[in-house]
Amino acid sequence: MTAFNIIYTMLGGLGLFFFGMKLMSDALQSAASDVIKNIINTITKHRVYSITVGVIVTMIVQSSSITTVMVVGFVNAGLMNLTQAIGIIFGANIGTTITGWIISIKIGKYGLLLIGAGFFPMLFADRGKWKTIGQVLFGVGLVFYGLDIMSAAFKPLRGMPEFLDAISFFSGQSYGAYIASIMMGCILTMVVQSSSAMLGITMALATTGVIEFHTAAALVLGENVGTTITALLASVGGNINAKRAARAHAIFNILGVAVVFSIFPWFVELIDSLVAGDPNMINAAGEKPNIAVHIATGHTLFNVTATIVFTPFLHQLARLVTWMTPEREKEQHHLVMLGDLEDMVPATALAMAQAEIEKMQDIVGRMFKISDELLKGESSEGDDKRIAKIKDYERITDSIQKEITVFVCKMMEKSLSPKQSVQAQAIVREADELESVADYLERVAGYLERTPKATVLKDKSRMELLSLFDEVREFYDLVVHRISQPSKLDIDLVQRKADAVVDQADRLRTIYLERVASGEFDALSALTYSDMVVALRKVKSHSFNIFESLVRLKGLD
């Protein structure tokens, strides 16, 4: 086999491996989306619980890189603090070891069988568990088959003196050779952007007899360092805590590798003593049947041990990265699309978007508070500052609404479950309606710039408008306080309150027009008062639209 044939065969096998991993990961994510969402919603500050969350999520998504990128996104959106994030990253390093055990099974032996078993349910089953099972089987089959193809491509390398001379330094049993292998594993993982793929390549090289066990073990250590580049890249453009989380991941892996490197010969001997069979034993076919399990054991031993050793120092690590990455100025958490949304689990993307909705709620709540002070203040002193603040908040809601809409619409291009699709649509609608509520509160404030407050709001008319404002605010609060808990929504109560607000607004306009007709108010004051009533009624209408989206979500529970 020529060098060209070896290269394109290896790349073809790697492509099948990547596609299989993605297909399997997407299917598992879709099947376990509610599990992931519940895990996110119950994250606590306890370090052991955070590590457990990292293990479970990584086993589901089958990629520590996806988990760490997800965590960086959570920190950036303010969904978790730095200590929680570091705990999850620790757990992700353990969770990713399951991939090594999956691909350590006799490479290629079951590939075509699993592809055949998964093809028909994946292609012909309706959406549901059978389709998901088919996708998982098909994905795992492609992983095995891709590794089988790579192994076939690597076999001729055993008899190529040029290649053996090129890697002779890496094969040596010296610390120089160990560090060279670690650096090579690190660099290749940075290029490939997948520690799972590099682990597969390492196992294929080792199984076919191209490299020995100590070289493979050193490559795996390098891959643990190289995988941190994904989170570091994801943190670019993120807030200060996102950068700290990514750097904590890098420090944790680098320190762990440094410790194992210092005792590397004894580390290799320990793995040999734990796993039966000589890893470098070659069978009649020229292959090493025992080495894959040794590699998987070494990968697991390193990550589990490093996590156990570093867990008591989790808070110290958080303080270290905080010191390394000082806060330049006070930051606001905001949603930032970290890299490609293909690397994000839909359930976690929805959770991030929901956090932004809650931020919008908070801002609109502040607008209500300032509007209340503006309308109820007897004096106009300080009104200019209040109006300016309301306008500033309205501009912020505009930006957040656009950000959420773009983010969620891009996410909806992915394969979502019916429930996730409804949740995504609800988030987009809620963002739009909250932005509209902010618009009309800003208009109420703006109308008082057009006409002096003392002219428009006086005597009974003032008390009536303030009463309407209170009713609208109460109705808004009744609805938005159930955005995060639609199952607790009282549909009948909300409907009654909505009807009462409409009746009150209509009655108010009629009474005010009668007062204008009697000469109690001038035409401009009447117009301003009417516009304010209409704006408050619009606030009610947009709040009711949020209620309708929550009713639809309530039906999913």
- Distance from C-alpha of 245 to C-alpha of 88, rounded to nearest angstrom: 10
Instruction: Give the span between the Cα atoms of 187 and 219, in whole angstroms.
Output: 10
Residue 239 contacts residue 72 (beta carbons within 8 Å):
no
Tokens for 408, please give them: 């969620």
14 and 154 share a domain? Answer: yes
Query: What percent of the chain has pLDDT above 90?
Result: 16
Residue 336 has a pLDDT of 47
Q: What is the mean pLDDT of residues 28-43?
A: 66
| pLDDT surpasses 90 at 436 | yes
CA-to-CA separations, 486 to 83, 483, 550, 556, in angstroms, rounded: 30, 6, 6, 10
Percentage of the chain beyond pLDDT 70 is 87
Region 395-416 average pLDDT: 85
Tell me 318's DSSP state: H
Say if residue 102 is in the same domain as residue 196. Answer: yes
Residue of higher predicted confidence among 518 and 535: 535
Using the predicted structure, report yes or no on whether residue 143 has a pLDDT greater than 50: yes
Which tokens sit at 145?
Answer: 């088959």
* 547 contacts 534 by C-beta, under 8 angstroms: no
Rounded to an integer, what distance in angstroms lies between the CA atom of residue 398 and that of residue 409? Answer: 17
Q: Let me know: does 294 contact 100? Beta carbons within 8 Å.
A: no
pLDDT at 56 over 50: yes
Query: Which structure tokens are listed for 124?
Result: 């012909």
**What are the pLDDT digits (tens) for 458-502?**
778 788 888 889 999 999 998 888 887 777 778 888 888 888 888
**What average pLDDT does the structure give for the chain?**
82
In a domain? residue 355: no
Q: How far apart are CA 15 and CA 149, in angstroms?
A: 10
Cα separation of 7 and 153, whole Å?
A: 8
Single out the residue in 324, 347, 373 at which a domain terminates. 324
Distance between terminal CA atoms of the chain?
59
286 and 416 assigned to the same domain: no
Same domain, 309 and 368: no
pLDDT > 80? residue 516? no
Judge if 302 and 374 occupy the same domain.
no
Number of domains the chain is built from: 2
CATH number, residue 530: 1.20.58.220
- Decide if 330 is inside a domain: no
Determine the average pLDDT of the residues in 318-329: 82
Q: Which of 175-189, 278-292, 375-389 has the highest mean pLDDT?
A: 175-189
CA distance 9 to 539: 63
Between the ranges 45-49, 64-68, 399-403, 550-554, where is the mean pLDDT highest? 399-403
**pLDDT-based confidence at residue 106 (cuts at 50, 70, 90):** low
- Comparing C-alpha atoms, which of 119, 65, 114, 117 is closest to residue 89? 65
Q: Is residue 130 part of a domain?
A: yes
Nearest to 135 by CA among 13, 22, 15, 16: 22
pLDDT band at 437 (very low <50, low <70, confident <90, very high): very high
How far apart, in Å, are the Cα atoms of 45 and each of 84, 260, 315? 6, 29, 11
Q: Which of 95, 104, 113, 74 is nearest to 28 (CA)?
A: 95
- Enter the pTM of the model: 0.69
Q: Is residue 311 part of a domain?
A: yes
Distance from C-alpha of 245 to C-alpha of 72, rounded to nearest angstrom: 6
Which band of pLDDT confidence, cut at 50, 70 and 90, is reported for residue 337?
very low
The domain containing residue 153 runs over which residues? 3-324
Closest CA to 449 of 376, 538, 383: 383
| Class of residue 165 by CB neighbours under 10 A (exposed 0-12, middle 13-18, buried 19+) | exposed
Written as six digits, the tokens of 110 are 């079951």
- The closest alpha carbon to 64, from 102, 25, 34, belongs to 25
pLDDT recorded at residue 14: 84
What average pLDDT does the segment 400-414 reach? 85
Average pLDDT over residues 150-178: 77
In a domain, 383, yes or no: yes
Which token pair is 486?
A: 């639609």
Across 219-235, average pLDDT? 84
The alpha carbon dihedral of 268, 269, 274, 276 has a sign of positive
In this predicted structure, what is the pLDDT of residue 40? 63
* CB-CB contact of 546 with 483 (8 Å): yes
Mean pLDDT of 541-555: 84
Domain boundary among 324, 346, 377: 324
| Residue 351 covered by a domain | no
Residues 232 and 375 in one domain: no
| Between residues 377 and 267, the one the model is more confident about | 267
pLDDT at 77 over 70: no
Are 404 and 514 in the same domain? yes
Task: Out of 105-109, 137-141, 410-414, give the one with best mean pLDDT.
Answer: 137-141
**Listed residues 294, 324, 354: the one ending a domain:** 324
- On whether both 305 and 374 belong to a single domain, the answer is no
**Both 296 and 417 in a single domain?**
no
The span from the CA of 152 to the CA of 208, in Å, is: 8
pLDDT confidence of residue 137:
87
C-alpha to C-alpha distance for 139 and 26, rounded to whole angstroms? 10
The reply to whether 50 falls in a domain is: yes
- Are both 390 and 281 inside the same structural domain? no
104 close to 296: Cβ distance less than 8 angstroms: yes
The helices-and-strands tally (H runs, E runs) of the chain is 25, 0
Higher pLDDT, 154 or 543: 543
Decide which of 388 and 333 is more confident: 388
The pLDDT assigned to 3 comes to: 76
Say if residue 179's pLDDT is above 50. Answer: yes
**What's the pLDDT score for residue 302?**
92
Residue 278: its pLDDT value, please? Answer: 87
pLDDT at 69 over 50: yes
User: How many whole angstroms separate alpha carbon 267 and alpha carbon 176?
Assistant: 16
Q: At 508, is the pLDDT very low, low, confident or very high (cuts 50, 70, 90)?
A: confident
Give the pLDDT score at 476: 92
Q: Sorting pLDDT into bands at 50, 70 and 90, what band is 264?
A: very high
Residues 298 and 383 in one domain: no
Say if 420 falls within a structural domain. Answer: yes
Helices (DSSP H) in 459-490: which residue ranges?
A: 459-480
The pLDDT value recorded for residue 515 is 73
* 187 plus 288 within the same structural domain: yes
Whole-Å CA distances, 118 to 16, 21, 127, 138: 15, 14, 14, 5
